[in-house]
Amino acid sequence: MAGEPQADCLFCKIVSGEVPATVVKETETTVAFRDINPQAPVHCLVIPKVHHPDAASLAAAAPDIAADVLREAGEVALQENGDKGYRIVFNTGAGAGQTVFHAHAHVLGGRGFNWPPG
């Protein structure tokens, strides 16, 4: 069921403490940690503590928590990268590169980014 921890979800296991992560910030509703395969000098993930498979389903079911994820992504970017600018990415679906099906925001910084991405 959406919102409930999933036994086979890596990010649910990070939330529960079953799988270790380098946590950089935690709130009542979110956890932020360093990506194990960084794509930029600053690359953290911000996840909701509740399980929803992607950003769109999180926003539809729990818009307040989706807002928490976005707010915390900005806070993590400032904490980790200062005011140098950053990118927030939500991959939604396998075709967009999502590999863990628990909603999450990638916070990227510490280098320049091209547009369009990809």
- Give catalytic residues, as residue numbers: 104
pTM exceeds 0.85, yes or no: yes
* Cα separation, 23 vs 46, whole angstroms: 10
Weakly modelled stretches of the chain, pLDDT under 70: 1, 118
Residue 24: what residue type? V
CA-closest candidate to residue 31, choices 80, 17, 86, 39: 17
